Structure 1
Amino acid sequence: MQPDWTDPAWRAEVDAWVGTRLEELGLGITGPVEQPHIRPWATALRIPTDGGDVWFKANMPGLEHEARLAAVLADRRPDCIPPLLAHDPESGWMLMGDAGTRLREIVEAERELVRWRDILLLYAGVQIDLTADADALVALGVPDIRLATLPGQTEALLAEVAELDPDTRSRVTAALPEIRELCEELGSFGIPDTIQHDDFHDAQVYVRDGRYVLLDWGDACVSHPFFTLAVTLDGVIAWGVDDVESSEPTEPYRDAYLTPFVAAHGGADLVAATTIARRLGWICRAVNGHLAPFESEQTGRRLRMFLDGMP
C-alpha cells in the first residue's frame, strides 16, 4: 500500500528511526525538521544537525531497492554519492549527508553545459566498476531489464498497460521484430549489462566539496549501460541551456561518456552502438517506469520516442 507521506503516525515512526540513527552517529538535531519533497513515489526530510544537514529519504513500495543499491555504491564507489550514514534494507529508508548544490542551478548560473563531460566520465566509470555486480544487484531487487529480456518485456508491457492509446499500441506491436533485431545488433558489440540510472538528468547531479555526486537511483535498473544516453543526451543535453530542442551538439558529451568504455572495449564501434542504444533506451525507460500508476501517460510518450526515431 502506498504510504501517506504526511500521515502523523508514519512521520512519528520515521522521526524515531532518524533519532536513533543520529544518536548512533553522535549527531544532535539543532532545528526544525523540514519536508521539502513530497512526491507520489518518494519523500525527503531535511534534518539540521550539529554536524551539518542530513537527509532522510523514503520510497514508494517497489522502489525500496534504492537503499540496497546505495549501500553497494557506498561500498564500491563512495566517491559518486553523498555519504550514506544509515539505511534499512527492508523499508528502503536512507539517511545521507548533504549532497551540496544541484547541477541545474549551477548550469543556470554558468550558462553552459561543459560540466556534463566530467559527470558522464564519472558515471561511465561507475557503470564499468559495477559490471561484475549485475547478478547481485538483481538479487537485491534492482529491476532486471538486461538486453536479452527487453523484447519479451516490451510485449508484456503492451499487455499490461490498458491506458495505452490504440495507435501507439499498434505501432509498437508492429515494431516488435525491429526491437528484437536492434537488441541482437546491440548485443553483438559485446558491452555487458550493468547498473543504469535510467533517469540521469540535471536534477540528479550535485556538487559537494568540489566533486560530483549522483543521486536518486530509485529508477535504476540492470540493463545495457548505453540506454542511459536516451534521457541524458537526447532528453536533456540536446536541449541546451535555454531548453531549445537540438540546440546543443551531443557528440562531445557522448565521446566523454565513451572514454572509459573505449579503454575497456577498444575494438568495438561504440559510436554505432550508442546510436542503437539511444533509440532502445526509450523502450527500456517505458518498461522500467510503467508499473507506477501515475506513469501511464509517460509510458506512451516514451514508446513514441522510440517509434519516432529518437535520436
Structure 2
Amino acid sequence: MAGGEAAVAWILGALRRELGAANLGEEDLEIVVERDRVWGSLWTVTAQGRRFWFKRPHACLRREVQLRRVLSARAPGELLSTVAACAETGWQLTADQGPVLAQRAREDGPSHYVELARSLARVQKSLTAADVAELRNIGLPVFETGDAVARLDEQLGWFSGLPAGHPAQCTVAERERAIEGMSVVVERWAVDARMLEGVVPELSVDHNDLHGGNAFVTAEGVRLSDWGDTVLAHPFASLRALLVPVRNVFETEAMEQIRGAYLAEWGLGEDVGDVLDLAMMLAVPQRLSCWSALADADAWAEYAEYIAPLWREIGTPVAEVEVP
C-alpha cells in the first residue's frame, strides 16, 4: 500500500459520508490489497461490518470517472453505482456486490451473460450524438471502422519496436500480414455494413473489456462495471471480449444465445450476424490499445500470450480465436 496515505484519507472521508459516521477513524478500517497490477490496484475496505471495493487505476484509465458520469445519466439502471469517485485521480469506491457475474454463471448457467449483452446494448443505444461528442472531448480514444488499417499499424508500432526475443515483439512479416488481413476485413465491412445504416450508429461506446469479471448480478438485474478501457468505436465490437471467454466455458450454443439477445435489443436478427462478426474482427486495434496505453514492456512480456495472438489471428472468426 506504498504511497497510499492520500487514498486512505479519501476513502475515510467517503465512508464517513456514506455511513453517517463522522467519528470514523483510520483505525476503524480494515484494508486489504487484493490486486496490484500495472493497470491499477484493487483494495477491499471493511468498516462497521460493511465491505467496499476501492480502485486506484493507472493514469491512462482515470477518464473512467467522467465516462461513467455520462453513461449513468443516460442509462442509470445499467451501471454499477459508485459510493464515491474522483475525476482527478480516477479513484472509485463501490459497495461489495458479492461474486462477479462469471462466478454466478458457472453456478447458474449462461443466462446471466444473455442479460449482460442486453444491458450493454441498452447503454450503447441510449447515447446521443451530443454524448458521443462529449466523450470525445474528455479524451476517449476513437477507433472508426474506416480507419482500422491505419489504427492497427499505429498500435503495432509499439510492439514492432521491441527487441528481438521479446515475447510480445511483432516482426516485420507479422506486421505486413496483419495489415493485409485487416485491409480485407475493412473492404468486406464497407459493403456488408450498409444494412446497419439508420439502425446502429457508427460510433458508440465499446466497453473493450466486457467479460464476466466486470459485471455483477444484483437483485435489480445485471450491472456493468470497469469501463476504464472504453473507446468510441462501432458498438458491436464490444462483444469480442465477451464471447470468447463464454465459448471457453459454455461452448458455442451459449455464444449464439448471447449474440441473438444482443442483436434483438437493437431490433435486429441473425441476418446481420456476419456484420457482427466483422465488427468484432475490426476490434483488434482497440484491444491492442488496452496494452499499448500502459507503455510498459515488462508488462507486455508478462502478458504476451494475450497480446501477440491479436495480430496473428486477424481475419479469424471470433468463434475460433484464442484470445478476446
| TM-score between both structures, scaled by the size of structure 1 | 0.85
Q: Return the letter of the residue paired with 2:6.
A: E
Counterparts of residues 43-122 of structure 1 (less than 5 Å): 43-50=41-48, 52-110=50-108, 112-122=109-119
Give me the whole-angstrom Cα distance separating, in 1, the residues matched to 2:186 and 2:49.
52
* Alignment partner, residue 240 of structure 1: 249
* Alignment partner, residue 175 of structure 1: 181
Q: CA separation of 1:93/1:31 partners in 2, compared to 1, >3 Å: closer, same or farther?
A: closer
Asked whether 1:256 is paired with 2:261, we answer yes
Name the SS of the counterpart of 2:307 in structure 1: helix
**Per-residue displacement from partner, 1:1-30 (whole Å, max 9, x unpaired)?**
xxxxx31xx211111111122233324475
Q: CA separation of 1:44/1:209 partners in 2, compared to 1, >3 Å: closer, same or farther?
A: same
* Alignment partner, residue 185 of structure 1: 191
**Per-residue displacement from partner, 1:151-206 (whole Å, max 9, x unpaired)?**
22112223332221344212113335324314423653222111111111111121
8 Å contact kept, 1:55–1:97: yes
Q: CA separation of 1:31/1:177 partners in 2, compared to 1, >3 Å: closer, same or farther?
A: closer
Deviation at 1:125, TM superposition (A): 0.5
8 Å contact kept, 1:101–1:208: no
Give me the whole-angstrom Cα distance separating, in 2, the residues matched to 1:24 and 1:275.
47
8 Å contact kept, 1:41–1:60: yes
* Alignment partner, residue 275 of structure 1: 277
Give me the whole-angstrom Cα distance separating, in 1, the residues matched to 2:15 and 2:254.
46
The one of 8, 27, 33 equivalent to 1:15 is 8
- The percentage of aligned residue pairs carrying the same residue is 22
Q: Return the letter of the residue paired with 1:285.
A: R
Q: Return the letter of the residue paired with 1:180.
A: V
Q: CA separation of 1:176/1:77 partners in 2, compared to 1, >3 Å: closer, same or farther?
A: closer
Deviation at 1:223, TM superposition (A): 0.6
The one of 272, 283, 288 equivalent to 1:286 is 288
Q: Return the letter of the residue paired with 1:305.
A: E
Q: Return the letter of the residue paired with 2:248.
A: W
| TM-score between both structures, scaled by the size of structure 2 | 0.82
Q: CA separation of 1:176/1:106 partners in 2, compared to 1, >3 Å: closer, same or farther?
A: closer
8 Å contact kept, 1:37–1:44: yes
Q: Return the letter of the residue paired with 1:272.
A: D
Name the SS of the counterpart of 2:44 in structure 1: strand
8 Å contact kept, 2:240–2:280: yes
8 Å contact kept, 1:290–1:299: no
* Alignment partner, residue 32 of structure 1: 30
**Per-residue displacement from partner, 1:81-101 (whole Å, max 9, x unpaired)?**
222222111111112222332
Moved segments of 4+, more than 6 Å: none
5+ long unaligned stretches in structure 1: 1-5
Deviation at 1:114, TM superposition (A): 2.1
Asked whether 1:218 is paired with 2:228, we answer yes
Give me the whole-angstrom Cα distance separating, in 2, the residues matched to 1:309 and 1:117.
20
Deviation at 1:285, TM superposition (A): 1.4
* Alignment partner, residue 310 of structure 1: 318
Aligned length: 295
Name the SS of the counterpart of 1:82 in structure 2: coil
**Per-residue displacement from partner, 1:115-170 (whole Å, max 9, x unpaired)?**
21122111111111124322211212222223233222112223332221344212
Q: Return the letter of the residue paired with 1:194.
A: S
Give me the whole-angstrom Cα distance separating, in 1, the residues matched to 2:105 and 2:235.
25
Deviation at 1:269, TM superposition (A): 4.8
Give me the whole-angstrom Cα distance separating, in 1, the residues matched to 2:289 and 2:45.
35
Deviation at 1:57, TM superposition (A): 0.9
Give me the whole-angstrom Cα distance separating, in 1, the residues matched to 2:225 and 2:171.
33
* Alignment partner, residue 3 of structure 1: none
Q: Return the letter of the residue paired with 2:213.
A: A
Name the SS of the counterpart of 1:240 in structure 2: helix
